[in-house]
Structure 1
């Protein structure tokens, strides 16, 4: 089959449960021109080089083809959608209340709260023999955490989920329905979420609290404060990115372990392996499969192929993570793997700054699930997947399992 249809085949929902044969096909060619004029790159070393190449832009405003991101035109792009120096300024302002060097202990201080949230959710599963690990655990845990961090009231979480689902759906490139309608709906959801979070920020100006919105609103660092539109866009990004990918990471992680009882039992016997197991999950089943919004600022040669200025460039991170030229036995899941410099959180200046939180959430979540679930079994395999080929993970993960009593350890 022609490599010019690889992106179309990857985007097809029929490929969602197992896109890895298509990624292997891509790696055979390294760089593949698509019939829509875009280029795919799937080999590890080429992806790594491009992620660190200043000639490759993250700003969709540099494209020579229409922007399909669904970004509303009356809001500024978030810092993941711009280049330095604008990216550097916005990212550093957002980082000040989140992590080092300005707030070095914020993430580590969440550990006990994370354990309590995970245990409370699992306690609520007792007495049931069928569980949906997405709806019952993997979604509510990170969304509860990011809402607490930002200062979003718990009762507003369902509305947040509705907006998030619409925004994620707007990134879908499938031809199955009207892409313009998806993009309009996504833009409207972004505007609604940004307006909601901007309203919270306005209230925190008058009545500050111990949360990140208050910290961003009142931060008087050396570079000043974020402007109101910048703040609204930044808070929207933090809200979505702060839980959406972690849901997939936890769910993909449990699915991987349930398919591999030996690995699951090994982690129960050797819980000290959990940090390396999470790194392996980030390589083996990354929650972000590809970066679809990169643009060469000039003609760039990659693997003997010249990618022209302005052409849409897709970096298939999940393919690079399975590249046998970089990882030994790349299609094997090894919870104790060493030398695991994966693309689970990207790389380069746009490396995910929420990575420490996602790692901690997933380590705690999986540890508590393995400790409390008794004889868990998949109800169906593969489970139903979400539609997005970019943020790939099960929409639901039904299992049959008992739940052990919640004795504290």
Structure 2
């Protein structure tokens, strides 16, 4: 088995239901180099160190070459939107992230997420109430997919009647992140660029309206800004809003869906959660370790020659940080293949770390905690209709496309 083979097997949609044996195999060689392509890092401590290493860039423009890299061509085209702060380095990254955080979290808006708890609870309960056939329903389509897209739309201030359009854009943009070795760079780029263009045109109109008539929503606060040095350009704001759509939606969909799938495979934990809703807090942390919605961080770039586990990685090389492999590293976690929400030490990589740690982490955590506790309470004797369920093709943002569940009823 060659190194190239193992990486391509991980990317293969056929591996999506259970990629973890492949990650175990990958860890046998801590630094895998696809010939002419990326270096894959799979051990926990190596990944954690690199997430904090200033010699590692998130800006794809620093790549010396894209030849042989399955993610070549994924960077945003300048004819649509500029790179989001997720794909920038300091100081540009820090400036944009700081401005985006002002209306979202501490120190300027320390209670923003917690104040949304009541709204989140109401939105989710309404979705569960809308399940008309408890004996056979799709959790993804009816509950876990519409929940976070509704939340992010409300947060940004998107009119309710326009929310369905965001479902399509979110799905397309998430799929465009998938490292597909069989598609040409041009094909992959065009799909994402078209969706970004449509989303950008819509948001441009909404931003102009909010600048004239600002409201309490996050998009209004970003559009108005706070002085010359704390105001985004229209293009920066468009790129940031598109990022929030992905960060605030796709990862949370997968976290909730993976979470319910895991609970149905571990009925004893589901029973514990039903009896003790507070278990949702550590349970979500264990889910972020055991079934992380973001499996890998591709297309990191070395700004200088560095050494990892005795392997010299040249300047300008593409690096993939395999978060899901690190989360099950036996050198870091005891019984890493076991799902244990009572685990005492859950310092996972599921939300990243360092300056690029997940921006929407507080909201994603709260959404998943509320959702899983509510499902455990209300679904009577739930069971899977299909296991494994069908998965999305995306290897980066991994989760079921559908999760069909049957239960005896839904409690009020």
The TM tier, using the shorter chain, reads: over 0.9
In the TM superposition, residue 127 of structure 1 has moved relative to its aligned partner by: 4.5
Contact 1:5 1:35 in 2 (8 A): no
In the TM superposition, residue 331 of structure 1 has moved relative to its aligned partner by: 0.6
Which residue of the other structure, out of 122, 136, 144, is the alignment partner of 1:138?
144
In the TM superposition, residue 70 of structure 1 has moved relative to its aligned partner by: 4.3
Contact 2:149 2:166 in 1 (8 A): no
Matched, 1:107 2:107: no
Matched, 1:19 2:25: no
In the TM superposition, residue 320 of structure 1 has moved relative to its aligned partner by: 0.3
Q: Which whole-Å deviations, capped at 9, do the CAs of 1:94-117 have from their partners, x for residues lacking one?
A: 000011101111100011111111
Identify the range of structure 1 (180-189 vs 78-87) with the bigger mean alpha-carbon deviation. 180-189
Cα distance in 2 between the residues matched to 1:402 and 1:121: 18
1:16–1:127 CA distance, 2 compared to 1 (3 A):
closer
Which residue of the other structure, out of 58, 72, 80, is the alignment partner of 2:77?
72
1:123 counterpart residue number = 129
Matched, 1:346 2:352: yes
Superposition map of 1:7-406 within 5 A: 7-66=7-66, 67-74=72-79, 75-221=81-227, 223-406=229-412
Contact 1:70 1:186 in 2 (8 A): no
TM-score (norm 2): 0.96
Contact 1:72 1:190 in 2 (8 A): no
1:269–1:221 CA distance, 2 compared to 1 (3 A):
farther
Could you say what secondary structure the match of 1:309 adopts?
A: coil
Cα distance in 2 between the residues matched to 1:114 and 1:168: 23
Contact 1:126 1:404 in 2 (8 A): no
In the TM superposition, residue 179 of structure 1 has moved relative to its aligned partner by: 4.4
In the TM superposition, residue 404 of structure 1 has moved relative to its aligned partner by: 2.7
Contact 2:134 2:410 in 1 (8 A): no
Identify the range of structure 1 (246-255 vs 6-15) with the bigger mean alpha-carbon deviation. 6-15
Cα distance in 2 between the residues matched to 1:215 and 1:87: 19
In the TM superposition, residue 6 of structure 1 has moved relative to its aligned partner by: 1.8
2:69 counterpart residue number = none
Structure 1 unmatched ranges of 5 or more: none
Contact 2:144 2:257 in 1 (8 A): yes
Contact 1:299 1:307 in 2 (8 A): yes
Cα distance in 2 between the residues matched to 1:249 and 1:210: 28
Identify the range of structure 1 (260-269 vs 134-143) with the bigger mean alpha-carbon deviation. 260-269
Cα distance in 1 between the residues matched to 2:218 and 2:163: 17
Cα distance in 2 between the residues matched to 1:55 and 1:294: 10
Cα distance in 1 between the residues matched to 2:143 and 2:171: 17
Identify the range of structure 1 (180-189 vs 308-317) with the bigger mean alpha-carbon deviation. 180-189
**RMSD of Structure 2 on Structure 1 (CA):** 1.3
1:403–1:36 CA distance, 2 compared to 1 (3 A):
farther
Count of aligned pairs: 406
Identify the range of structure 1 (84-93 vs 181-190) with the bigger mean alpha-carbon deviation. 181-190
Structure 1 runs, 4 residues or longer, greater than 3 Å off: 175-179
Structure 2 unmatched ranges of 5 or more: 67-71
1:206–1:311 CA distance, 2 compared to 1 (3 A):
same
TM-score (norm 1): 0.97
Could you say what secondary structure the match of 1:29 adopts?
A: coil
